[in-house]
Amino acid sequence: MSLSKLSWNHFGPHHPFPEKQKFHGCYQDALAPPAFLRPLGLSISAAFAPGPSTMSNSSNMNTLSPDEMQRFQKLSNEFEPDVPGLLVSPKQSSHNIALEYANADPAFATKTSALAVTHPMSRTMKGDGNCGWRAVAFGYFETLFSLRDMLRVEQELARIKSLTYTLDRVGYAEHLYEMFIDATEEVFAQTSEAIQNGDQDESFLVNAFNNEYKSNSILMHFRLLTSAWMKLNAVRYQAFLPVPLEQYCASEIDTVRTEIDEVGLQALVDGVIQGAGFGVEILYLDRSEGDAVTPHQLSPTCPSDATIRLLYRPGHYDIIYRAEQTVNMAPVVNYQYAMTSNYSPWDQGALSFDVNSHLMSIPNLMADPAFGMGGAPMSPIPSVSPTPASPYRLSPTQDMYQSPMQSHAPVPSIPVSSPTPAMPSAAPPPMTSLPSRSSDGPQIRLNPLVMKPNLNHLPVTAPFKNSPYNQAHFRNQDFEPIHWEPNDNRR
Amino acid sequence: MGSQKRIAKELSELVESPPEGIIVELADEANLYKWKVFMEGPEGSPYQGGKFIVNLTLPTEYPFKPPTVSFGTKIYHPNVTNDEKGSMCLGMLRADEWKPSSKIAAVLQFARQLLQEPMPDDAIEGRIAEQYKNDRKRYDEIAKEWTRKWAVSE
């Protein structure tokens, strides 16, 4: 449990859609302007537009006749704040968030601008009191869909259904909750169907979550599961609650439109989401120091392909999407180096060229038996063959939420794991047997195009196909880099 | 819709095993959303011996919004409007306190409990609440009289 570590800096500009609005539906409330009207600067007469005669003195509402009181009561009961927008919006650019804060406190302006770069896409939730719940529930299904794994969907459906026993254990009656579960199952079925149909985008989920009945039902299901989880694990949460847990669940979790708080969110993640192996991370947009939003991880792990990211602004949650990950090149391993065993560790000083990652990632560079043997003739370039499978292969059509493993890698587009060429059965000559690599050793001049990303997408014309500039050659298993020999033409 | 199925189940449960002092039927057989409830005044309360008609209406958004409860029989009570509406709206019946996992049976029991123990601090009829707190005897008398007058069929 890391609740105690959370930082709750709930400062900042008012979110345009304040959420905490209690609706009292009783007469005495008509005596004073409802609390949610006051900050808007509306007088009750303006808000309710009564007949001309009665409201000249709006402060003295006790003089109203019962009929008028009733009319006001009715209006008050039926009043719903006009919160614009869909329950769940389509994905949109995070620059919109930056724009909202452009004239706000510089701390927010800086952070939102930075956010738009690191997390370029976002999805807003309607600020109706359910935004946090809805963000997590939507994020859950969206993540599940993005994995495109039918088996996973089946597993998750079974897991969520199996949690039903916790509802029974804490005393919810089946006929009271089954309609909520039905709605969740329906969306699971839609998810499977979308995967089978090869749907490219998650618009079916956006539609489902914009259906008030379905949306409410799913959220209620998740709320009840969270409530049951908390009751069954009371010891984990009670210390963080100002009231007895039963009471907390009754007033904060089991209700229809009470916004989620920190403890509730942690319990939702622990009890409902985490079992899926999904991560949940919140980015806090607050006034804390630094130029970036403060991330906080709610789950033990945040798998790169299955993490729900929430943007928290005081009183409101939205979903936010990280920039597609660059292929993780961190450990640039020269596999050939790893395969040959018994020579001394690299000594960069002994090499006449930079051991940089780009060089190191050129297949066969180090182990090529011809390396450094002087003027290995270029073998005739074979025609481009279909490229072998590689974990870093770029997939052609990706306009959805992408799993980072498949993403367009902006940086290194050099395949690092092309199969090694057929090697002589003997171990390659140890590096030390190469001709002296001091000043006059072989030098390598890389084709500048090697360094350019995404050349895979160059149009392949017939002449280009066979040109040495065609980068696809690098994937060919017989590819060898050109060794520039100063001796030949420069001396 | 799932809510109709749920309402039907709740109704049949209430008809099969009614809670003490409460009898439920549909106001109109064709409409699941309007219920007519006969509620006996609890023993020991000034409403004892009376039989009150309570109208329970389920919103179309049920169970995401609470049922509304109103007394069809005139009743002298701090939490029931003293008019032809007879509205009762507090506690679990408020939209912000309502829990969709609540049973309608619990709503009716809550209403009956309120006859036993009014909640003067959360009153709709301030004058009756005042009297309930300061002059219980007089309150009891009037409540009994109203019960005799309106809630006891000859």
Specify the CATH number for the domain of residue B83: 3.10.110.10
Task: Name the domain boundary from A257, A287, A321.
Answer: A321
Rounded Cα distance, A445 and A437, in Å: 15
Query: pLDDT for A125-149, tens place per residue?
Result: 998 889 999 999 999 999 999 999 9
SS (HEC) of A437-479: CCCCCCECCCCHHHHCCCHHHCCCCHHHHCCCCCHHHHHCCCC
At A481 the pLDDT is 66
- Within-domain flag for A481: yes
Contact B99 A255 (CB under 8 A): yes
Three-state DSSP at B131 gives helix
Of B22, B23, B53, B89, which residue is the catalytic one? B89
At A361 the pLDDT is 54
The two three-digit tokens of residue A331, written as one number: 């450990």
Which residues in chain B are contacts of A174 at CB distance < 8 A?
none
At A82 the pLDDT is 62
Tell me if chain B has a CB within 8 Å of the CB of A173: yes
The predicted complex's ipTM stands at 0.90
Task: Report angle CA A254, A211, A314 to the nearest 5 degrees.
Answer: 55
A97 and A62 within one domain: no
At A61 the pLDDT is 53
**Is the pLDDT score of B110 beyond 50?**
yes
- Within-domain flag for A10: no
- Is residue A330 within 8 A of residue A420, CB to CB? The reply is no
Number of structural domains chain B divides into: 1
Rounded Cα distance, A334 and A235, in Å: 50
At A370 the pLDDT is 44
Domain carrying residue A149: 92-321
- Give the gap in angstroms from C-alpha A24 to the nearest C-alpha of chain B: 6
Domain carrying residue B25: 2-151
Rounded Cα distance, A364 and A419, in Å: 9
Give B6 or A457, the one with higher predicted confidence: B6
Residues in chain A with pLDDT < 50?
Answer: 1-59, 327-341, 343, 348, 350-351, 353, 355, 359, 365-438, 455, 458, 491
- Within-domain flag for A446: yes
A409 and A359 within one domain: yes
A275 and A345 within one domain: no
Number of structural domains chain A divides into: 3
Contact B89 A217 (CB under 8 A): no
Contacts of A260 (CB under 8 A, 6+ apart): A132, A133, A136, A268, A317
Tell me if chain B has a CB within 8 Å of the CB of A10: no
The two three-digit tokens of residue A221, written as one number: 């299901």
Render B88-109 in DSSP notation, one character per residue: E--GGGSTTT--TT--HHHHHH
The two three-digit tokens of residue A248, written as one number: 């907390």
A167 and A106 within one domain: yes
| C-beta neighbour count of B17 within 10 angstroms | 8
The one-letter amino acid at A367: A
Three-state DSSP at B34 gives strand
Q: CATH number, domain at A106?
A: 1.20.1300.20
Query: pLDDT for B25-55, tens place per residue?
Result: 999 988 999 999 999 999 999 999 999 999 9
Which residues in chain A are contacts of B124 at CB distance < 8 A?
26-28
At A172 the pLDDT is 93
Contact B98 A255 (CB under 8 A): yes
Tell me if chain B has a CB within 8 Å of the CB of A165: no
Rounded Cα distance, A99 and A96, in Å: 5
